[in-house]
Structure 1
Amino acid sequence: MDVARVLGDRGPGALDVDVWWVQVPGHRGKRLRDFLWQTGPLGLKLVSQEMLEVLRRSGADLEVFDVDIRLRGGESVAGYVGVLEETHSPGPVHSLWRGRRGHELVVADKVLAAMRDAGLSGIEVEPVAGPFPADRPGFSD
């Protein structure tokens, strides 16, 4: 079983083993952000409850999962969930590609404004042209 693929397609509840995320060894950062990590190219994102609420209020269609996040020393970090974004409809929050997830999200201008108004952190923004921009010829990620 490809654990990473299952996480990206169906979330941690689809596995019959315990799954947790741990701070990268050697990473000295101590400030938690609203967008923590994504799980590689398959795309389960780890976001704060606050970010989840902003996305939901903005009309995002998300699958949400409880997640276990730990610091290097094993201490549990509360207040985060895993999310899988829409991959087939170009809603206000959706995947970069139609039909699959990756490590980035496409958000509508109103969602980005709501994220900025809420003061969310850990977000990098790059403008894209329209829904599912990675499906267009010549797109490079």
Structure 2
Amino acid sequence: MTSVLVLNGPNLNLLGRRQPEVYGATTLAEIEAMCRDHVADWGWSCDCIQSNHEGALIDAIHATIGHHDGLVINAGAYTHTSIALMDAIASVEVPTVEVHLSDIHAREPFRHVSYIEKVALAQICGKGPKGYVEALDLLKTHLETEGM
């Protein structure tokens, strides 16, 4: 069975209450359920992990080897700072799509830099929770086209 990991970084556990004017009112639990339901229609499985700790995110990325066929990652603020996350994604060679709820390119200049996009198939930002679904759709197309 095809399996994907949806990995969320720091402060995303506070979605729904954290700056709803920027990130919306949808909770992380709702996004995770939406992702699981979406891939279930294809007969896929979806694991979801959130951590505020960079090392835990790296461990989760490493654990994709042999367990997951694709990765959707919202690394939160680590997007703009973590070469370690970039290196982990490059090392595991699992197709990865980066997603952000807000449009990082329309925000503060320091948010315009993404280390993750350097090793991802694509970056989806500014589409709210629907960006996760778009990321999963992109992974599906990639895996069907390129093979698993």
The higher radius of gyration belongs to 1
Higher share of residues assigned helix: 2
Structure having the larger proportion of residues in strand: 1
| Shorter-chain TM-score above 0.5 | no
Q: TM-score, normalised by structure 1?
A: 0.29
Question: TM-score, normalised to structure 2's length?
Answer: 0.28
